Amino acid sequence: MFESNEIRADISTKSVLDTLDTVRELPLPPNFLWGAATAAYQVEGGAQQDGKGPSIWDEFSHREPSVTSGEDGDIACDHYNRLAEDIALLSSYGVDVYRFSICWSRLIPLGGRNDPINEKGIAFYNTLIDGLIAHGIKPAVTLYHWDLPLELHTRYGGMLNSADFQADFEHYARLCFSRFGDRVKQWITFNEPYIVALFGYHSGILAPGHSTKTGHDSTTEPWRVGHSLILAHAAAVQTYATDFLPSQKGNISIVLNSDFYEPYDATSEADKAAARRRLEFYVGWFGDPIYLGGDYPESMRQQLGSRLPQFTEAEQGLLKKTAPHNTFYGMNHYTSQYARARTTPPHEEDHTGNVEELTTNSKGVEIGPLSGVSWLRVTHKQFRKLLNWAWDRYQRPIYITENGCPCPGENSMALGQAVDDQFRVRYFGLYIDAISQAINEDGVEVAGYYAWSLMDNFEWAAGYSIRFGITHVDFATGTRTPKKSAAYLEETFGKRRAIPRNGNIANGIP
Domains annotated on the chain, with CATH = 5-495 (3.20.20.80)
Residues whose CB is less than 8 angstroms from the CB of residue 123 and which lie 6 or more positions away in sequence, other chains included: none
Of 137, 327, 347, the closest CA to residue 240 belongs to 327
Task: Identify the segments of the chain with pLDDT beneath 50.
Answer: 1-11, 503-508
At 14 the pLDDT is 67
At 499 the pLDDT is 86
Contact 480, 89 (CB under 8 A): yes
Of 231, 51, 70, 225, the closest CA to residue 124 belongs to 51
Percent helix, percent strand, percent coil in the chain, to nearest 5: 45, 15, 40
Contact 290, 254 (CB under 8 A): yes
* Residue 47: count of CB within 10 angstroms of its CB: 22
At 16 the pLDDT is 80
User: Residue 8: helix, strand or coil by DSSP?
Assistant: helix
At 12 the pLDDT is 57
Contact 154, 205 (CB under 8 A): no
**Element housing 175 (H / E):** helix 162-180
At 19 the pLDDT is 87
Of 427, 380, 434, 432, the closest CA to residue 408 belongs to 427
**Omega cis (within 30) before 139:** no
d(CA 260, CA 279): 7
Q: What is the DSSP letter of 69?
A: T
d(CA 293, CA 290): 5
CA angle 73, 87, 128 (to 5 degrees): 75
> Beta-strand (E) ranges in 160-300?
186-191, 251-257, 260-263
- Phi and psi (nearest 5°) for 139? -80, 130
Whether pTM exceeds 0.75: yes
Q: Which residues are catalytic?
A: 192, 402
Contact 34, 489 (CB under 8 A): yes
d(CA 156, CA 278): 32
d(CA 312, CA 465): 44
Question: Taken in order 42, 44, 47, 52, is the CA torsion positive or negative?
Answer: negative
d(CA 95, CA 283): 29
At 11 the pLDDT is 43
